[in-house]
Structure 1
């Protein structure tokens, strides 16, 4: 497939995705334009932002051939070890055989996956990720960050309600959300909605 044809297909895919916006709007690891084909694709983007093994991700990368058909994946994902994964949300109806797409990805030194619905929606992770990403644009001041990290160094872990007391320079909820999203502290996102009793732990750097 020629470069001009690839570019034309990518423009068409991105133009169709840009008609609607999906929530939440903020991201922390998206590299480049934020365009989502559907709410399901946006939901996958939320999960990518809270996956510690993901370094960055891109929306609708350049298409590649599969079974004679060009395919524009929902995402190109870069992991912390330098690996590349092409990813489609579970609502995606692909025009080529999934095995053919995966085989073509291998030729690009990458992997491909079409996610199953359960992987996105069968835990509290997506709900918690959406809540956190409401505050994606927040930058926690150094003083607040130091106060919280020092408290966690002393106690090992603290309930979320106790952590909020460390914030003096910014609003507590956006402040702690920012520190979670940017990998300073961690919480369990899978088992329950975030609440006052959620345990917060420092991430070793």
Structure 2
């Protein structure tokens, strides 16, 4: 099932006036966030291996005269995950039953579900990933990784000749050509870089 085929409501309306400078690679359509927590959940979604694409508030559910659109709809290989970012704002009590009746999986995410190290790393990569990686640089880095299996981040940066190194590396992580550990520590010179394995 394609995520583009899931829309059951009108065009989502931007509802949060948040400063926004990130370009998500797997967001289908316009990005909107109700609050900062929802924006941070979106950062996690872009780096979730199981998620192939996601969009914002594309499904509208009804319960009597009430309607409600959860924050995100994420397409995975075996199901569709509907997500609400839950802070001070609470989704209606009936939404879990309404989502599961449609055959989807429903999940809420709070601030406590977001590891601060992973969030910082995801934010940093997205902020640095604007633009393109030259074909030559992409092939060079992947070829070296094929030969050596892994490099430190500092070593990887020396491979780039045509693209700004940090931008090129961030683009290749976001594009799932390579992978780094986002959870153990903040990204640094000794961070290990490998080919993406999924």
TM-score by length of 1: 0.85
1:70, distance to aligned residue in structure 2 (A)? 1.8
Closer, same or farther in 2 for the Cα pair 1:35/1:135, shift >3 Å? same
Measured against aligned partners, the alpha-carbon deviations of 1:151-192 in whole angstroms (never above 9, x if no partner) come to 111111110000001100110000000000010110010111
Rounded Cα–Cα distance in structure 1 between residues aligned with 2:64 and 2:107: 16
Among 49, 53, 74, the alignment partner of 2:50 is 53
Unaligned runs of 5+ in 1: 1-5
The 1-side partners of 2:180 and 2:87 are apart by 29
The match for 1:76 is: 73
Aligned equivalent of 2:132, options 139, 152, 156: 139
- Quick check: which one's helix share is greater? 1
Cα 1:95–1:114, aligned 2, differ >3 Å: closer, same or farther? closer
Mapped to 1, the partners of 2:22 and 2:124 lie a distance apart of: 11
Q: Distance in 2 between matches of 1:57 and 1:174?
A: 23
* Number of residue equivalences: 191
Q: CA RMSD in A?
A: 2.0
3-state secondary structure, aligned to 2:172 = helix
Once the two structures are TM-superposed, the CA of residue 138 in structure 1 deviates from its matched residue by 2.1
1:161–1:57 Cα change, 3 Å: same
Question: Aligned residue for 1:91?
Answer: 87
Structure 2 CA distance for aligned equivalents of residues 22 and 112 of structure 1 = 28
1:107 aligns with 2:83: no
Q: 1:92 to 1:27 in 2, by over 3 A?
A: farther
CA contact (8 A) 1:67 1:96 kept: no
Find out whether 1:23 has 2:17 as its counterpart: no
**2:14–2:33 Cα contact (<8 Å) kept:** no
Distance 1:181 1:91 in 2: 27
Aligned counterpart, 1:3: none
Whether the aligned pair in 2 keeps the contact of 1:86 and 1:110 (CA below 8 Å) is yes
Gaps in structure 2 of 5+ consecutive residues: 1-7
Asked if residue 39 in structure 1 is aligned to residue 31 in structure 2, the reply is no
* Correspondence 1:189 to 2:192: no
Aligned residue for 2:13, secondary structure, equals helix
**Distance change in 2, residues 1:24/1:44 (3 Å):** farther
Contact 2:178 2:195 in 1 (8 A): yes
